[in-house]
Each structure stands twice: as C-alpha cells, then as structure tokens.
Amino acid sequence: MSTIIEFKNVNKEYKSGDHILKAMDNVNFTIDSGEFVVILGPSGAGKSTLLNLLGGLDFVTSGQIIVNNNHVESFSDNQLTEYRARNVGFIFQFYNLIPNLTAQENIELMKDIVDVDIDGLSVLDSVGLKDHANQFPAQLSGGEQQRVSIARAVAKRPTMLLCDEPTGALDSKTGVLILNLLQSMSNNQNTTVVIVTHNAILAEAADKVIRIKNGQVESIVVNENPKNVTDLEW
C-alpha cells in the first residue's frame, strides 16, 4: 500500500497576547491509502487541530503536510478551497447539514463543487435512507442525519474521509452503526478514513492507531488484524 498522507515536523502555535499555546509539537506520521485510522487522545490533546490542518481548514506554523504528493501547507486560500472540494470529505460531530435542503438535496449539493455526476437517491440508498430522501434534516433523527452527512461526504469520491467525533452526539447503538458504515467504506471502497475520538475501544478496529498527548505523538500502533466494529465490546 502506498503512503497518501504524510505529516513532517508539523508545528502549530496559537498566540493570544503574550501567551503562546503549542497545539501541535513536532508531529510526524504517515497514513497509507485505504487505511482506517483512529486518532486517540484526551480532550485538549490537539486531535481536532490535527484534523483541521489535514483538512485544510487551518495553516501550520511550520512543517509539511503532504497529501497525494502535494504540499498542503503551501496552498493559498483558493487552493485550499479546491483541495477541500476534491480531496476531503468532512463528517462532523453535529452533522452540519444545510437545514433548508432535503436529504437528497444536501447530497446533490456537491455537484456544484465537483465535476462528478451524483445520483442523490442511490447514494442515500447505500446508507439505507432512500425513503427519507425528501425529508429535511430537522425531520431526521441524529443517526439518520449523520448517515446523510456520510453520504454527502462520500458522494464526491474524496481521497479521504475526516471524521471529528462522528458518534459524539449519538447513542452507542447508533454509533456502532455509523462506525460500521465508515469501516466498510474503508474496506470495500478503499477510501482512507481518519477518525478523531477519545473513545479508546475503537482502537481495536483500526488499521492504525495514532495516540496524541499535549500536542505530541505518543505512539503509533499498526494493527495486523483489526476487529470488525460490530465485534467490539462497547
């Protein structure tokens, strides 16, 4: 398998007045194409910062982020927008669907930014929500909204799916359903999936586990035989 994402000596500092907060402290790791990666760590460790940098929502202070042989850290604002549109599928803790578009419209919205023909109905079908195509986000349950959000993210066939606490707002049964969906995307469609969570149990299901603490990489573990999400002890 080939390396698709590489963090090289990445530093990220936030300044507030005289005080400097180091959110990323010399972070190095690689992710292979199609890997199911879990990034673990307590709150405030810098997990979300890592995901934001990788997703092109924020700029590094120093270091390099190489995705598909492109130096993301040197991208301009416009290039970052383009990068997000083509390469990144975001999945948020609070779904972030557009409230006044229906489920199907939320997915077909992607046609406006990428040159991919998207059939909203069949994408919804793949997450089991074909019957809810004409409902608005507010009419769907949390789990259903998150599934629409996943469908929206994968519809444009991105290089990677970046998920920030995707089950954080869901009950555990629904959470498993969502994680299972993400894992099968990685396994069956060779999509690179990066999940940020503070739930250590998920580690057993990952191809690679990156532990973060105080902005530094604590350990990187590669699982030879990851478990299926549904087989985990929740």
Instruction: Considering only residues 35 through 64, tell me which ones interact with another protein, judged by CB under 8 A.
Output: 48, 52, 55, 57-58
Minimum CB distance to another protein smaller for 52 or for 192: 52
What are 20's strand-pairing partners? Answer: 15
Binder to another protein among 78, 188, 224, 233 (CB under 8 A)?
78
Q: Identify which range of 96-104, 121-129, 186-194, 219-227 contacts another protein by CB under 8 A.
A: 96-104
Binder to another protein among 62, 74, 122, 134 (CB under 8 A)?
134
DSSP annotation string for 108-167: HGGGGTSS----HHHHHHHTT-GGGTT--GGGS-HHHHHHHHHHHHHHT--SEEEEESTT
Instruction: Considering only residues 107 through 126, tell me which ones interact with another protein, judged by CB under 8 A.
Output: 108-114
Q: What is the dihedral of CA 199, 208, 39, 152, to 10 degrees?
A: -90
Minimum CB distance to another protein smaller for 52 or for 191: 52
Minimum CB distance to another protein smaller for 101 or for 176: 101
Binder to another protein among 6, 105, 125, 204 (CB under 8 A)?
105
Instruction: Considering only residues 152 through 211, tell me which ones interact with another protein, judged by CB under 8 A.
Output: 152, 169
| Site for another protein contains 101 (CB under 8 A) | yes
For residues 167 and 55, what is the distance between their CA atoms, to the nearest angstrom?
19
CB of 70 to another protein, least distance (A): 15
Q: Which positions touch another protein (CB under 8 A)?
A: 48, 52, 55, 57-58, 77-78, 81-86, 88, 90, 92-94, 96-102, 105, 108-114, 134, 136, 138-139, 152, 169
